[in-house]
Amino acid sequence: MRILMLLWFLAAIAMPALAGAESPAQRPNVVFVLTDDQRWDAMSLYGDVPLQTPHIDRLGQEGIHFLNTFCTTSLCSPSRATILSGLYAHAHGVSNNFTEYPEDMPTWPLALQAAGYETAYVGKYHMGEDNDDIRPGFDHFITHKGQGQYFDTTFRFNGGERRVVEGYYTTVVTDMAEEWITSRSGERPWAIIIGHKAPHSFYYPEPKYENAFDDVRIPYPRTAFMLDDKPAWYQERLDTWHGIYGPLFDYRQDFPDRSPEGVAAFEDMVRAYWATILSVDDSVGRLYQLLEERGELDNTLFIHTSDNGILNGEHGMIDKRTAHEPSMRIPLVVRYPGLTPPDQPREVEQLVLTTDFAPSIVDICGAEPLEDIHGRSWRRIASGESDPAWRRSFVYMYNYERQFPYTPNVRALRTDDWKYVRYPHGDGSPDRHMAELYQIVRDPEEAVNLIQDPDYAEIVKKLHAELDRQLAAIGAEPDVMPIDEGIGQDLPDPAIR
């Protein structure tokens, strides 16, 4: 009896400790699918669109669809650094596509690694154009220099061998991800980021999807012809690398072309953009099936998102960088039964940012929080809990680039209902471009600029003050930026397009 009592006593002491210690099975694995330039409405879950993405949709239909997710800088490298760090670009220092991510800067993969996770990255990393070395935070790292190619990219494997891997990029990186996931023993939780090239320009669809949208008519958006109340730089951009009458990423050989017939090249461009996403959808379906077969699906935080959006003709523009909705708004679907059961999907309407990925993933995975960051964990709102302190507005920032001189400096405030945009010159002098004001809740296309309507003068004043307040709150005062040298008309260097 004394022995039994002693055993019971020891077991009672041990139980709380065991209950508080999470086993690998209790800590979710992470699959983070990161596309490049996928706008928020480039998936069929959003609504009635020609592009059908059943596998991406399924994540939201069995999980959470975040309806209002935004990047804080619509440019590949700065946004990717924000996703890793939870910081705005001025804080992490990657303000353009040619700057390395600081090696001593914390990231959520580093935090997970420290918490016992095995970590991997396969695909497009795109911070440091000529660097394909292993980056901190990853046990397994396969990438390439620069943008990569849709076909037959030269990859570097774990900082060693470089070799051409034949095949279509999306399929190749999915193969790599599957191989790594399959080799996990299950003794430790794991996390992998799959960095797709698609749907970044130049758009080369997988052969089976080359003609997927041939029968779909795609006119220029109506806002391309509603420029009279917009800043003059909109008109100046129309014939450039980032305008609808320009080369359209080489889909138009003779430019500028303002003829009605010129829309044919525009249609070809958008069709190809959509077609590359079909292969990404296939990839998501393959990963879903693999996790299901391994019995790991319901213990995996499965995230699909993009670094930024893209303008497909809206306001006469292509590319990103601006504070327009198609440029800054991105898709986000998350499947994880630890947040909501698969038969109880949820839509989240709150404003969610790229700064929120790092704190959310670390929170859900039970790792140590990253300190002094700008983002917040969306775990509570994703779980259907109330969070009264959640943001109702946020700041958007972009800095003028000499290499791509088609967009001014941008500072914007996006609220639930409004968007206010200004274009600082960069030297503290008065702005030289007209500002913009849109009542997003009534004008989601941003068709009517209200900035010069005296009825909205008080709203402009309040939004301007709030923009300044938030810039100061995130440590962007003084707000250092380059001088706006105007809208250039020359094509960019072919090596960096």
In the predicted model, is pLDDT for residue 93 greater than 60?
yes
The pTM for the full model equals 0.94
The encoded tokens of residue 245 equal 């009458």
Mind listing the pLDDT tens digit for each residue in 441-482?
999 999 999 999 999 999 999 999 999 999 999 999 999 999
Residue 179 forms part of a structural domain:
yes
- Alpha carbon dihedral 425, 428, 430, 435, in 10-degree steps, equals 50
Query: Tell me, what's the pLDDT at 8?
Result: 32
**What is the arithmetic mean of pLDDT over 77-97?**
97
The 3-state DSSP class for residue 451 equals: coil
Burial of 104 (0-12, 13-18, 19+ CB in 10 A): exposed
pLDDT of residue 496: 86
For residue 20, pLDDT beyond 70: no
Closest CA to 371 of 118, 110, 119, 128: 110
pLDDT of 13 over the 50 cut: no
| pLDDT tens digit sequence for 304-345 | 999 999 999 999 999 999 999 999 999 999 999 999 999 999
| pLDDT per residue as tens digits for the range 33-57 | 999 999 999 999 998 889 999 999 9
pLDDT of 17 higher than 70 = no
The single-letter DSSP state of residue 208 is G
Q: Work out how many domains the chain is built from and give that number.
A: 1
Whether residue 254 is contained in a domain is answered as no
Extract long-range pairs of 3-11: CB within 8 Å, 24+ residues apart.
none
* Cα–Cα distance measured from residue 308 to residue 306, given in angstroms and rounded to the nearest whole number: 6
pLDDT at 19 over 50: no
Burial classification of residue 465, based on how many CB atoms lie within 10 Å of its CB (0-12 exposed, 13-18 middle, 19 or more buried)? exposed
> Does residue 1 form part of some domain?
no
Average pLDDT on 68-75 reads: 98
- Asked if residue 222 is part of any domain, the answer here is no
* End-to-end Cα separation, the chain, in angstroms: 79
* pLDDT reading at 4 higher than 80: no
The answer to whether residue 311 sits within a structural domain is yes
State the pLDDT confidence band at 129, using cuts at 50, 70 and 90: confident
pLDDT at 226 exceeding the cut of 80: yes
For the chain, percent of residues with pLDDT exceeding 90: 92
Q: Which one is predicted more confidently, 49 or 212? A: 212
Query: Mean pLDDT throughout 149-165?
Result: 98
Q: How confident is the model at residue 2 (pLDDT cuts 50, 70, 90)?
A: very low
Per-residue confidence at 12, pLDDT binned at 50, 70, 90? very low
14 vs 110, residue with greater confidence: 110
- Whether 113 shows a pLDDT value over 60: the answer reads yes
34 assigned to some structural domain: yes
Q: What range does the domain containing 206 cover?
A: 26-210+263-388
Q: Is residue 303 part of a domain?
A: yes
Give the largest Cα separation in the chain, rounded.
96
CATH of the domain at 113: 3.40.720.10
DSSP 217-276: --PPPGGGG--TTS-HHHHHHTTSTTBTTS-TTTT-SS----SGGGHHHHHHHHHHHHHH
Whether 329 is covered by a domain: the verdict is yes
Q: What is the dihedral of CA 270, 272, 278, 279, to 10 degrees?
A: -140
Q: Chain centroid to CA 281: how far?
A: 16
- By CB atoms closer than 10 A (0-12, 13-18, 19+), residue 428 is exposed
Which region among 21-35, 163-177, 222-236, 238-252 has the lowest average model confidence (pLDDT)?
21-35
- What confidence score (pLDDT) does residue 495 get? 84
**CB-based contacts of 166, cutoff 8 Å, min separation 6:** 151, 152
Average pLDDT over residues 355-366: 98
pLDDT, residue 48, reads 83
Average pLDDT over every residue of 80-102: 96
pLDDT at residue 476 in the model: 97
